[in-house]
Homo-oligomer: A and B are copies of this chain.
Amino acid sequence: MSSLTPTARVILGMLKLGMRTGYDVKKAIDTSTRFFWTASYGQIYPELKRLRKAGLVRAEAKPRGRVKRTVYSLTPKGERALHEWLTDSENVLFELRDEGLLRLFFGDLISREEVLANLRVQQQLFKMVLARFREIEVDARGGFADESQRFPHLALRYGIDFITWSRDWYAEAERRLEAGEPLVELEDGETGGRKRGLAAR
């Protein structure tokens, strides 16, 4: 099992992808993994120091003019730890915290109109997120999206596709609630009977 802290995982990867300073790493996170893996300065700088003490990264003072600046890179030990984590399939962390869904869960406690309003607000939020994603996708041409770095783009695609799917799911839920149709379809049998999800198309 990998013993890297959550923040260490993204730091080591970003350093390997060419980021050099803590500031760089933070910027890269904010423009790429932010949707599914965040980290703040309050995590990054202390973690870089821990990683240095543990011998996974080396630090070099590389001031730019009079500005102090520390450039980090992976040690062989850090390379090994990164590769080990990337190919380890135990306990893959997956956490979701979705307040919109929690509200939907409690939909029976408010009026139909209030639920409809919530469903519409959610769709608006998804549309705003999508707009931001699309900007990033265009910007990214200069950043990660060259031949040797296809996967950052693929992960971004997952984000766009997921939010699109989710927006459509909410739209369908709204439509059904408005039309007075059953919210969830009845099961067909256990086997083979491909269960049509609410937003299946």
Contacts and interface: CB of A to CB of B under 8 A. Distances in A.
Interface residues of A, number: 68
B99 A86 contact: no
A97 B97 CA distance: 9
Interface in A93-116: 93-110, 114-115
Contacts of A183: 150-151, 153-154, 157
A9 B96 contact: no
The DSSP consensus for interface residues of chain A is: helix
Contact of A98 (B37, B100, B117): B37
Number of copies: 2
B99 A92 contact: yes
Nearest to A151: B107
A14 B118 CA distance: 19
Contacts of A165: 162, 165, 197
A109 B199 CA distance: 36
Contacts of A197: 157, 160-161, 164-165
